[in-house]
């Protein structure tokens, strides 16, 4: 898990007052970028919005005078507080935006096993492996977890992520959110109840990988019976095209209906469509591409040896991290 800076100390534990404030201040704010991206993505479920939130955070830092900056004992804590509040504001307005969204909204999927490296159009990095541009993947960014987060209030989401993922105390969260520590504790508890109510824990990655591989093979063979056996009878498929590309506007429910739906899709797909096994938000998933263009990313949830949820992201704006580099 990512740990936050202890107020008044850098990541090595040295007191900033013992170091040159000019060098220390610059080093501190640069080193915080990785955590801010990690935090904002988990809070917003969108890498594009997370980058905007972090950019706005740094803009507010640099808008202050040098004297104001030097008066801040812990730049890291200041940046985290500002970023969290920006995300809270964005989450508060997200519901209205989602109501205007065409079809279902799914969090933006991330590729690779351990990290995502920024490749946003117009964004360049001197070192493409710069740790400041990474999102660390763990169970707190699995698609299943992010989807549950979407059902929470903004305050519940912030309290849960700051406390359970980033290990902030409820006293610190209270300062960030403007609520009491007791209220923040209750928000996190309510968020955990939502997680427990969403279903059993995710299956081990190895088991999920095997099922996803079997799903891929049955899909390519257009074997409806095999697909029905792989899918839970109560499974749900949710697609996100954002109104930019064709996608089911409502969830497809039931294992047999899903099997017939995706076999129908396979029948309409171009002959040279390629489906590849890929890691999606740290979990086994699939990616479909045609002519070098990525058309869709598939995330899965598995329970009791069967696939229970499939999330299909087709919105090209959300596939940006997959097409970069």
Closest CA to 173 of 95, 88, 49: 88
Structure tokens at 44: 């917003």
Q: Which residue has the tokens 């902030």?
A: 168
The 3 state secondary structure assigned to 301-317 is: EEECCEEEEEEEECCHH
CATH class of 205-323: alpha beta
- Beta 231-240 vs 306-313: how paired, if at all? parallel
Sign of CA dihedral 81, 37, 188, 312: positive
Where along the chain do its domains lie? 16-196, 205-323
Angle of CA points 126, 53, 296, to nearest 5°: 75
- Contact between 224 and 260 under an 8 Å Cβ cutoff? The reply is yes
Angle of CA points 39, 315, 51, to nearest 5°: 25
Q: How far apart are CA 149 and CA 160, in angstroms?
A: 9
Sign of CA dihedral 163, 92, 201, 223: negative
Report how far apart the first and last C-alpha atoms of the chain are (Å, whole number): 27
Structure tokens at 323: 């097409």
Task: Give the CA count within 13 Å in the CB-facing half-sphere of 130.
Answer: 16
Q: How far apart are CA 48 and CA 31, in angstroms?
A: 20
H-assigned helices in the chain: 21-31, 33-44, 47-63, 66-70, 75-100, 143-150, 154-160, 170-177, 181-197, 205-221, 224-230, 255-268, 320-323
- Contact between 75 and 25 under an 8 Å Cβ cutoff? The reply is yes
Angle, helix 21-31 to helix 75-100, in steps of 10 degrees: 30
What are the phi and psi torsion angles at 137 (to 5°)? -95, 130
At residue 203, the pLDDT reads: 84
pLDDT tens, position by position, for the chain (325 residues)? Answer: 444 443 444 444 444 444 455 555 566 677 789 889 999 999 999 998 999 999 999 999 999 999 998 898 888 889 999 999 999 999 988 777 777 889 999 999 998 743 333 333 333 333 333 444 457 767 788 999 999 999 999 999 999 999 999 999 999 999 999 999 999 999 999 999 999 998 888 888 888 999 999 999 999 999 999 999 999 999 999 999 999 998 999 999 999 999 999 999 888 877 778 999 999 998 999 999 988 889 999 999 999 999 999 999 999 999 988 886 4
At residue 23, the pLDDT reads: 58
């Amino acid at each position: 898990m990512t740990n936050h800076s202890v107020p008044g100390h850098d990541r090595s534990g040295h007191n900033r007052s013992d170091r040159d404030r000019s060098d220390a201040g610059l080093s501190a704010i640069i080193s915080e970028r990785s955590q801010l991206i990690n935090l904002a993505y988990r809070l917003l479920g969108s890498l594009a919005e997370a980058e905007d939130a972090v950019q706005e955070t740094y803009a507010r830092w640099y808008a202050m005078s040098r004297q104001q900056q030097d008066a801040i004992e812990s730049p890291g804590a200041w940046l985290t507080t500002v970023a969290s509040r920006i995300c809270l504001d964005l989450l508060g307005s997200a519901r209205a935006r989602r109501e205007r969204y065409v079809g279902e909204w799914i969090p933006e999927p991330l590729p690779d096993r351990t990290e995502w490296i920024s490749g946003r159009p117009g964004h360049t990095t001197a070192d493409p492996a710069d740790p400041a541009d990474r999102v660390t993947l763990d169970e707190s960014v699995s698609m299943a977890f992010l989807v549950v987060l979407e059902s929470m209030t903004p305050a519940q989401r912030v309290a849960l992520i700051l406390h359970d993922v980033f290990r902030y105390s409820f006293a610190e969260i209270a300062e960030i959110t403007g609520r009491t520590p007791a209220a923040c504790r209750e928000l996190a508890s309510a968020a955990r109840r939502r997680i427990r109510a969403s279903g059993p824990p995710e299956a081990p990655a190895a088991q999920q990988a095997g099922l996803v591989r079997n799903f891929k093979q049955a899909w390519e063979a257009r074997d409806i019976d095999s697909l029905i056996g792989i899918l839970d009878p109560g499974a749900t498929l949710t697609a996100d095209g954002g109104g930019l590309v064709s996608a089911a506007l409502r969830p497809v429910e039931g294992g047999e209906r899903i099997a017939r739906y995706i076999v129908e899709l396979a029948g309409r797909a171009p002959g040279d469509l390629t489906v590849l096994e890929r890691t999606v938000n740290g979990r086994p998933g699939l990616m479909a591409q045609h002519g070098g263009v990525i058309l869709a990313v598939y995330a899965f949830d598995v329970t009791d040896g069967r696939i229970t949820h499939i999330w299909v992201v087709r919105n090209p704006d959300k596939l940006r991290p997959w097409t970069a580099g």
